[in-house]
Amino acid sequence: MTHDIHIVGGGLAGSEAAWQLAEAGFKVRLSEMRGSGEKTPAHQTEGLAELVCSNSFRSDDAEANAVGLLHQEMRTLGSLILAQADRHRVPAGSALAVDRDGYSQGVTDALANHPNVTLVRERVDSLPEGPAILATGPLTAPALAEAIGGATGAEALAFFDALAPIVYRDSIDMDVAWFASRWDKGETKDYINCPLTKEEYLAFHAGLIEGEKTPFKEWEKDTPYFEGCMPIEVMAERGVDTLRYGPMKPVGLDDPRTGRWPYAVVQLRQDNAQGSLWNIVGFQTKLKHSEQVRLFRTIPGLQNAEFARLGGLHRNTFIKSPELLDPTLRLKNRPNLRFAGQITGCEGYIESAAVGLLAGRFAAAELRGETLAPPPPETALGALLGHITGAATAETYQPMNVNFGLFPPIPGRTKKADRKRMYTDRGRTALAEWLNSPPPAMPAA
């Protein structure tokens, strides 16, 4: 099948972009190197849109959370990623978490069976000459990364991203651990909680500091961590109580054996539909595997833990998007190329998919001979896009999750308790107006 546009990369961004274009009636060639004999340091399967770290798309609260608003906007725009996430949802309180294998298979099947999509398992080493979207992610193959570097004329930035361990549910001691909501917020009890006394916590903290870590490769040295996915041992190095105010915060969690809050707590979240796999929340790490098994089994309730996956760390790269991309994600000096996903410098599953959605829609409009205006900055999509394509300073540009700090401020003085709802109400109104605006025609060449 001849194609109208070439998408390189079958992660969340590339999959979403392919879906948007295919649904708009355009023929898509979707190239994914996994399945062609190629691998990456982080992926484990050949499935499209594989989730390599957490199985959570974070908050699904569209009334008071910027991520939840982004979910809502993407559902409104017919997102494949959100449709499959909803279909394969697992309990996680107010968060949207998924059975990672069922979800990835659902995305793969939807695209492989779409009449407008040709899924090709191949490694692409050079930049396409025709219309294309590069969504190769933070682990772009070396030859293509070199070609991108040559086209951008700028060095890519880099940071480390980390994987949290996954535990088999039947190996958790529920005589010690108990179910509760995240920090006892809400009525559902979707998290398993493992309590630590002060002595147990201090010993665990010391073990993180002293534990043997996997050494960095030469090309990984001097690469900064991303604050939103900090390895737990790096957090521990910042102070003895840092973890107790972060992923091991015990606030609101009454241990049913004592009726009191523990000194610290380790929480696990369901990772698959069967409830047989649970990931340790916030425990991404570079500890050696043997050290992880030894140390994590000192956590009460996990003394007999069996691990389906241990933690890990990999390098991510991204381009200086505010300097290199135009407002519709085109490379300024090669406008046939658009970028999407984590390679643009967004951070997070849903943010990557959102940028893929926008890239797909911008490309579809261009193929129709139209110009699609970027979504308003009052929307979650527009706020994220604005950060990537110009609102941030290129020299200090760092990966960013969507958050209300990217939105235009609410004018006037408002109560803090009302502000989040004002952001989301304003965002919904702005999205509706954007969707109802007729697209202008492209100027004549």
369-427 pLDDT, tens digit each: 999 999 999 999 999 999 999 877 777 787 788 999 889 888 888 887 789 999 999 99
Residue-wise pLDDT tens digits, 285-299: 989 999 999 999 999
How far is C-alpha 320 from the chain's CA centre? 19
For 254-271, letters b (16+ CB in 10 Å) and e give bbeeeeebbbbbbbbbbb
Vertex 174: Cα angle to 173 and 175 (nearest 5): 90
pLDDT band per the 50, 70, 90 thresholds, residue 43: low
**What's the confidence (pLDDT) of residue 218?**
61
Contacts of 136 (CB under 8 A, 6+ apart): 8, 9, 11, 14, 144, 145, 341, 343
- pLDDT of 223 higher than 70: no
Indicate the pairing of strand 157-163 with strand 330-331.
unpaired
Closest CA to 152 of 6, 399, 317, 347: 317
> Given the structure tokens 């108990």, which residue do they identify?
178
Closest CA to 229 of 101, 316, 141, 166: 316
Indicate the pairing of strand 166-168 with strand 277-280.
antiparallel
- pLDDT of 445 higher than 50: no
The Cα 229–Cα 128 span in angstroms is: 33
* Residue 275 near residue 102, CB atoms below 8 Å: no
Q: Three-state DSSP class for 68?
A: helix
> Both ends of the chain: CA-CA distance in Å?
29
- When pLDDT is averaged across residues 212-222 and rounded to a whole number, the result is 69
Return the half-sphere exposure (C-beta side, CA atoms, 13 A cut-off) of residue 94: 16
- pLDDT of 1 higher than 80: no
- pLDDT of 205 higher than 90: yes
The Cα 253–Cα 7 span in angstroms is: 46
Higher local confidence (pLDDT), 45 or 89? 89
The Cα 345–Cα 387 span in angstroms is: 9
The Cα 402–Cα 66 span in angstroms is: 6
How many other C-beta atoms can be found within 10 angstroms of the C-beta atom of residue 364? 21
Q: In what order do the strands lie in the sheet with 95-98?
A: 56-59, 95-98, 89-90
Residue-wise pLDDT tens digits, 339-374: 999 999 898 899 999 999 999 999 999 999 999 999
* Residue 360 near residue 133, CB atoms below 8 Å: yes
Vertex 42: Cα angle to 41 and 48 (nearest 5): 120
Contacts of 340 (CB under 8 A, 6+ apart): 13, 14, 17, 133, 134, 135, 329, 352, 355, 356, 358, 359, 360
What are the distances in angstroms from CA 294 to CA 160, 207, 282? Answer: 24, 10, 18
Closest CA to 135 of 271, 21, 1, 284: 21
**What's the confidence (pLDDT) of residue 97?**
95
The Cα 102–Cα 277 span in angstroms is: 13
Closest CA to 320 of 204, 153, 89, 171: 153
**What's the confidence (pLDDT) of residue 414?**
81
Return the half-sphere exposure (C-beta side, CA atoms, 13 A cut-off) of residue 284: 22
* Residue 117 near residue 30, CB atoms below 8 Å: yes
**What's the confidence (pLDDT) of residue 92?**
92
